[in-house]
Amino acid sequence: MPAQRNQTLHVFELLRENQRLARIRYSSEVSSTTLEQLRHLTEAFAVSLKVGDVLFLDGRWYVTHTGLLRLARRKRCRGISVEAVDALCEPTAGRYVLKATVHPYRSSSGFDGYGDADPSNVAPLVRGAEMRVAETRAVNRALRKAYGVGICSVEELGAHGTVSEGSAEARKRPQSSNGNCWATGPRVRDRLCQLIRQHQLDGELVKAYAIDFCGVKSLREATRAQVENFVGHLADWAERDRNALLCQLNSFFRVKEGQQQKVDGAA
122 and 138 in contact (C-beta within 8 Å)? Answer: no
Say whether pLDDT at 111 is over 60: yes
Does residue 11 or residue 184 have the better pLDDT? 11
Q: Which of 161, 226, 230 is nearest to 201 (CA)?
A: 230
Q: How far apart are CA 81 and CA 211, in angstroms?
A: 33
| pLDDT for 165 | 31
How confident is the model over 17-38, as a mean pLDDT?
88
| pLDDT for 238 | 80
| pLDDT for 27 | 77
235 and 199 in contact (C-beta within 8 Å)? Answer: no
| pLDDT for 252 | 72
Say whether pLDDT at 80 is over 50: yes
Q: How far apart are CA 218 and CA 194, in angstroms?
A: 21
103 and 136 inside one domain? yes
Q: How far apart are CA 182 and CA 49, in angstroms?
A: 23
255 and 205 inside one domain? yes
Structural domain count, the chain? 3
How confident is the model over 208-217, as a mean pLDDT?
83
- Using one digit for the tens of pLDDT, what is the confidence trace for 220-260? 888 878 888 888 888 878 877 777 788 778 877 654 444 44
Does residue 89 or residue 30 have the better pLDDT? 89
How confident is the model over 258-265, as a mean pLDDT?
43
Query: Where does a domain end: 98, 131, 156?
Result: 156
Q: Considering the domain boundaries, does residue 139 fall inside one?
A: yes
Listing DSSP states for 68-110 in one string gives HHHHHHHTT--EEEEEE-GGG-BGGGTBEEEEEEEESSTT---
131 and 215 inside one domain? no
251 and 186 inside one domain? yes
Confidence of residue 3 (pLDDT cuts 50, 70, 90): low
Listing DSSP states for 212-253 in one string gives HHHT-SSGGGS-HHHHHHHHHHHHHHHHH-HHHHHHHHHTTH
| Chain mean pLDDT for the chain | 80
Percent residues over pLDDT 90 in the chain: 41
250 and 179 inside one domain? yes
Query: Where does a domain end: 156, 179, 194?
Result: 156
82 and 146 inside one domain? yes
Q: Considering the domain boundaries, does residue 141 fall inside one?
A: yes
Dihedral over Cα of 113, 221, 191, 236: its sign: positive
| pLDDT for 164 | 31
Q: Which of 67, 134, 66 is nearest to 99 (CA)?
A: 134
The range of the structural domain enclosing residue 104 comes to: 73-156
Q: Considering the domain boundaries, does residue 124 fall inside one?
A: yes
| pLDDT for 91 | 94
Q: Considering the domain boundaries, does residue 41 fall inside one?
A: yes
| pLDDT for 249 | 80
Dihedral over Cα of 23, 26, 29, 32: its sign: negative
Q: Considering the domain boundaries, does residue 65 fall inside one?
A: no
| pLDDT for 174 | 39
Dihedral over Cα of 17, 21, 24, 28: its sign: negative
Query: Where does a domain end: 101, 134, 156?
Result: 156
18 and 77 inside one domain? no
Cα distances (angstroms) measured from residue 6 to each of 12, 53, 193, 205: 10, 21, 40, 41
Q: Which of 165, 149, 186 is nearest to 57 (CA)?
A: 186
172 and 254 inside one domain? yes
Q: Considering the domain boundaries, does residue 161 fall inside one?
A: no
**Burial of 8 (C-beta count, 10 Å sphere; 0-12/13-18/19+):** exposed
106 and 126 inside one domain? yes
Q: How far apart are CA 152 and CA 214, in angstroms?
A: 24
Q: Considering the domain boundaries, does residue 135 fall inside one?
A: yes
86 and 28 inside one domain? no
Q: Considering the domain boundaries, does residue 133 fall inside one?
A: yes
| pLDDT for 41 | 95
- Using one digit for the tens of pLDDT, what is the confidence trace for 145-197? 999 999 999 888 875 443 333 333 333 333 333 334 444 555 677 778 878 87
Does residue 125 or residue 102 have the better pLDDT? 102
